[in-house]
Structure 1
Amino acid sequence: MSAPRFPRPPRTLPRRAAAASVAVVVLSALTACSQPVPFDPAPDAADPDCAAVVVRLPDEVAGLAARETNAQGTGAWGSPASVLLRCGVEPPGPTTLRCVSVDDVDWIIDESDAPRYRFVTYGRTPAVEVVVDNDVVSGTTAVTDLSTAVAAIPAEGGCTDLEELPDAG
């Protein structure tokens, strides 16, 4: 009497298992490459106006792709991250730093850590801070790309020139 014969499993099972294993390895590798950009959230990052800014942030700034961040009210672009945004920073008071208006959003420019430039909105509460590595990307281009999103915070004032101030005499 011969031993019973069992049907042979189809050959596609090992191929499917191998394909699934390869897919898991590839996805794991891709995930490992795109770690979130670490941030400390700004003091007022939970302000609803910051949420309005974050949902309007573009997928690309100055030709750099958006990156995931690990903190509320933040955004980052580039690899390595060369444009960093934090919403909810303390609004600046009067200053002698240069102030520019881009698409109806006023920005104070701090160049003291060049080539890293710090832009902070002026006349909006909460304020938005953008730090740009100017060796990689133009700060002007970055704030131009971000101004539409930042405009979600209503303006309460803006930059003034000394010539616009009333005469004290």
Structure 2
Amino acid sequence: MWAAVIGCLTAVAGCAPTIAVEPAAHADDAACGLVLARTPQTMDGHPQRQTTAQATTAWGDAGAAIALRCGVEQPGPSADCVSITYGDVTVDWIAQETTTGWRFTTYGRTPAVEVAVPSSLGLTQPGLTDLTDALASTIVTAHCT
């Protein structure tokens, strides 16, 4: 019986879409492995999916997925910097509206992490607090001013 259950679960998992995500410039940063190991299995109710690149993950479907890339270039200071506190941890993000949705990039953390949210999901700020545990392994170098 257990073999049948495992077979069914494997078949279902095999049908889940793989999300195409471009790797970041510094995706080979060892700390990205720690970040990815701590990412949540769901974000804003969307299940985590496999991706096509190192140091990336995504939540949702191929047509509309929240995509995370670790090891992106460090952003400079910006008026678009917002601080989000969850528990006793504060993470600073640069929030930018793009032609396809929103991009949130950690500010003052090494390695830098980017979260892209397509406009089709209707989110202007995804569950960034869900990433607090994952980002705890990054090094804080600056804060929003």
With normalisation by structure 1, the TM-score equals: 0.70
Secondary structure at the residue paired with 1:147? helix
Q: How does 1:19-168 map to 2 (within 5 A)?
A: 30=12, 33-80=15-62, 81-96=64-79, 98-103=80-85, 104-113=90-99, 116-160=101-145
Distance 1:126 1:27, change over 3 A: closer
Identity %: 44
* TM-superposed deviation, 1:64: 0.6
Structure 2's unaligned 5+ residue stretches are none
Q: How does 1:5-24 map to 2 (within 5 A)?
A: none
Secondary structure at the residue paired with 1:140? coil
Secondary structure at the residue paired with 1:95? coil
Secondary structure at the residue paired with 2:116? strand
Q: In 1, distance between residues paired with 2:33 and 2:93?
A: 20
Q: In 2, distance between residues paired with 1:32 and 1:148?
A: 28
Assess if the C-alpha contact under 8 Å between 1:76 and 1:82 holds in 2. Answer: yes
Q: In 2, distance between residues paired with 1:142 and 1:41?
A: 22
- What is the CA deviation profile of residues 54-89 of structure 1, one whole-angstrom value per residue up to 9, with x for unaligned ones? 000000001110001121110100123421000000
Structure number with greater Rg is 1
Secondary structure at the residue paired with 1:131? strand
Aligned residue pairs total 136
* TM-superposed deviation, 1:108: 0.3
Structure 1's unaligned 5+ residue stretches are 1-19, 161-169
* TM-superposed deviation, 1:49: 1.1
Greater mean deviation of Cα atoms: 61-70 or 144-153: 144-153
If each structure's strand is expressed as a fraction of its own residues, which one has the higher value?
Answer: 2
Greater mean deviation of Cα atoms: 44-53 or 132-141: 132-141
Greater RCO (Cα-Cα under 8 Å, separation 6 or more): 2
- What is the CA deviation profile of residues 9-35 of structure 1, one whole-angstrom value per residue up to 9, with x for unaligned ones? xxxxxxxxxxx9xxx8x7897466323
C-alpha RMSD of the superposition: 2.4
Moved over 2 A (4+): 26-33, 137-142
Secondary structure at the residue paired with 1:109? strand
